[in-house]
Structure 1
Amino acid sequence: MKILVVGAGATGGYFGARLVQAGRDVTFLVRQGRAGVLRKRGLRIVEADGETVVEPNLVEVEGLTGTYDLILLSVKATALDAAIRDFAPAVRPGTLILPVLNGMGHIEALVERFGEGAVLGGAARVVTTLNDEGDIVRIGGPHLLTYGARSKPAPEGLAAVEEALTGVGFDAVLYDDIVEDMWAKWAFITSIGAVTCLMRGSIGEVAAVPGGVGFAEAVITEAAGIVAAAGHPIPEAALEFMRSTVTTPGSPLTSSLYRDLVAGQQVEVEALFGDLLVVAERVGVPAPLLGLTTGLLRVHQARVTGRE
């Protein structure tokens, strides 16, 4: 199976590198700046127990030729439109697109461009970031990729995708109910984002102050209530995991949203929070904490984009 990874950043680069290590036929579609870093240093993963370096097969947009069987799409929501234009020539009848973006809005854009049957559902759970050298730093925790057909019958080629993603250096799980998992992931990541961005600190720092745990639990209740009212209730075991994650004493965990915020970079405010507020209004669920987070991030986003 020929795999094209679109987005060799902290998430796509991590999963793509593990696929390369497992012997899969992987090419990374990258911009010129990222290509220069990867050609100089290799695709490097830094973990607590050491470093892993792979020499990636790279292609830039102008050099993209031929088509691929699977496209693993991992870009920020703000870069989605440009990414679609970039990888569109690589799509043929039968190509499957596995997006691991945040939120749900990207599905509509992909289906509109490539058709219902071409677009799988997916969710990534991995805590990674890029350091100053452009290396991928895995902070710890799970490295899980869930995926599956969003409707039945499943598209042809899904079995081949499962084979390609099995036995690699991360956990990959084929879900029958991938859409439900995507909604749960949406609630989870907005909750972590709200807690860390509003409080300007890690989960452990928030939990350590009076009222911090109660605040974090209130955020979880709000986000979970929205998705449940929209018809996607989160199972109790998953809810308990979410609560424990955002209230763990001493946890160094932050969200990628928070890290982008403090670094003065663009943030995925609309894909994560703006879209969820639209859902909340539609189902009639109050969302004061998520609304406050949205306003804060919109001000930041306007400031950043105004400089560019």
Structure 2
Amino acid sequence: MRILCLGAGALGGYFGGRLAQAGADVSFLVRPGRAAQLAAEGLVIESPFGHARLPIRTLTQAEPGFDIVLLTCKAYDLDGAIEAIRPAMGPGTAVLPVLNGLAHIARLQREFGPEQVLGGLAKIQATLTPAGVVKQLNDWRWLTFGELDGSASPRTQALASLAARAEGMAAEAVPDIMARMWEKLVHLGTSALGTVLMRANTGEIARAPGGVALMHRLLERNAAIAAANGHPVRPGFIEDFRRLFADPAGAYAASMLRDLEAGGRIEADHILGFLLEAARAAGVPHELHEAGYIHAKAYEQRRDAGRLPALQP
């Protein structure tokens, strides 16, 4: 099995690097500057599960002949990512996206065909340092994927077998990937809406009057949206996140809040806009979703106009 990773950053560099370390045939599609850095230094991973410096194969333009394309871009880069991987998408090639949310699935199916798109999600906290090091920040290392029709296919089983040999990686091929992706969206959408609206982490919100009730209300509404789309979340999942959002000592914040506070680009349409439209379609009260989406889009307007306050040193 030949695997192409789009990028060698936090996600692609970590998961693709671990697969390559285990002996898988992995190539990385990267920009020329990153290709030169990787040629000189190798792919460097710092992790609680073992550090690595790996010689890897890089491409600056995609080529045919791959079985799986691992798509790890941000949602706002999806258009460019599709064009970048298009030459690699042969008749038997599957794209495995691990983007946040769900909106990208229909887009990829339109571009490449329903049979060539897998479902996937990643749970990892990692970053690419200015020196080009892929640094894993905690023990999260999960990659979950599957066929969107729920079948157990040779390609997903082959990828799971490769990943089982990889150090510092826990991968699983599942028959219910759409349900898993909806669960992640319920969690992510609640976290993003709450922490972006309040400009605070979950513990700070919990310590504010009415903060726990607000987060629980968002969680319940997002769970109702998932149920209306045929994917009710598990009761244990809801209870876990009710506890997380009620913890006054918690320090969890969505990556969208971190990106916003750093003055960066955010996935407003892909996460908040998608949930707002889904709430309207499901008849779920959506005033908080609307407020969160408008808040994020107004931030984008201010950012584009160059009117963000100067970041503190």
Compute the TM-score of the two structures, normalised by the length of structure 2. 0.88
1:51-200 → structure 2 map (5 Å cutoff): 51-61=51-61, 64-151=62-149, 153-168=151-166, 169-200=168-199
Show CA shifts across 1:257-286 (max 9, x none): 111111111101111110111111111111
Checking the alignment, whether the CA contact within 8 Å between 1:94 and 1:118 is kept in structure 2 is: yes
Q: Which residue of 2 aligns with 1:301?
A: 300
**Could you tell me how far 1:123 is from its partner in structure 2?**
1.1
Alpha-carbon contact 2:151-2:175 (below 8 Å) kept: no
Equivalent residue number for residue 3 of structure 1: 3
Deviation string, structure 1 residues 142-164 (Cα, Å, up to 9, x no partner): 32111111115555523322222
State the alpha-carbon separation in 2 of the partners of residues 210 and 49 from structure 1. 41
Whether the aligned pair in 2 keeps the contact of 1:74 and 1:100 (CA below 8 Å) is: yes
Counterpart code for 1:78: Y
Separation in structure 2 between the aligned mates of residue 252 and residue 130 of structure 1, nearest angstrom? 22
**CA–CA distance in 2 between the matches of 1:269 and 1:259?**
13
Contact 2:75–2:99 (CA<8 Å) still a contact in 1?
A: yes
CA distance in 2, matches of 1:303, 1:38: 36
Are 1:67 and 1:89, in contact at CA under 8 Å, matched by a contact in 2? no
CA gap of 1:147–1:284, structure 2 versus 1, over 3 A, is same
SS in 2 for 1:28: strand
Give the number of aligned pairs: 305
Cα displacement string for residues 234-263 of structure 1 (whole angstroms, at most 9, x for unaligned residues): 011111222233333433332221111111
Cα shift at 1:306? 4.7
TM-score by length of 1: 0.90
User: Match for residue 251 of structure 2?
Assistant: 252
Deviation at 1:122, TM superposition (A): 0.7
Stretch of structure 1 that moved more, 264-273 or 44-53 = 44-53
Q: Quick one: structure 1 residues 302 and 52, their matched pair in 2 at CA, closer, same or farther if it must change by over 3 Å?
A: farther
Q: In the TM superposition, what is the alpha-carbon distance from 1:106 to its structure 2 partner?
A: 0.9
Distance 1:137 1:248 in 2: 28
Which structure 2 residues correspond to residues 193-212 of structure 1 after superposition, within 5 A? 193-212=192-211
The one-letter code sitting in structure 2 at the alignment partner of 1:203 is T
Alpha-carbon distance in 2 for matches of 1:206, 1:44: 37
- CA distance 1:109–1:211, shift in 2 (3 Å): same
Matched, 1:219 2:218: yes
For 2:248 and 2:8, how far apart are their aligned partners in 1? 33
Q: Is the partner of 2:124 in helix, strand or coil?
A: strand
1:199, 1:206 within 8 Å by CA — same for their partners in 2?
yes
Task: Compute the displacement of 1:222 (Å).
Answer: 2.1
Q: Comparing 261-270 with 145-154, which one deviates more in the overlay? A: 145-154
| Contact map agreement 1:198 1:293 (CA 8 A) in 2 | yes
1:230 alignment counterpart: 229
Question: CA separation in 2, counterparts of 1:132 and 1:287?
Answer: 40
**Alpha-carbon distance in structure 2 between the residues aligned to 1:190 and 1:9:** 24
Change beyond 3 A, Cα 1:249–1:10:
farther
Map 1:272-283 onto structure 2 (within 5 A): 272-283=271-282
Residues 3 and 26, structure 2, Cα contact 8 Å, conserved in 1? yes
Q: Deviations over 1:173-219 (max 9, x none)?
A: 11111111111111111111122222223333333444333332222
In structure 2, the CA distance between the partners of 1:5 and 1:130, relative to structure 1 (3 Å rule), is same
Q: Identify the range of structure 1 (209-218 vs 5-14) with the bigger mean alpha-carbon deviation.
A: 209-218
Contact 1:94 1:157 (C-alpha < 8 Å) held by counterparts: no
Paired AA for residue 204 in structure 1:
G
Query: SS of the residue aligned with 1:214?
Result: helix
Larger displacement relative to structure 2 (268-277 or 27-36): 27-36
Paired with 1:205 and 1:157, the residues of 2 have a C-alpha distance of: 44
Q: Structure 1: which 5+ residue stretches go unaligned?
A: none
Match of 1:30 in 2: 30
Whether the aligned pair in 1 keeps the contact of 2:29 and 2:59 (CA below 8 Å) is yes
Q: Is the 8 A contact 1:202 1:251 kept in 2?
A: yes
**Contact 2:268-2:293 at 8 Å conserved across structures:** yes
For residues 65 and 215 of structure 2, the distance between their equivalents in structure 1, rounded to whole angstroms, comes to 45
Q: CA deviation at 1:48?
A: 6.0
Q: How many angstroms apart in 2 are the aligned matches of 1:249 and 1:205?
A: 7
- Seq. identity, %: 37
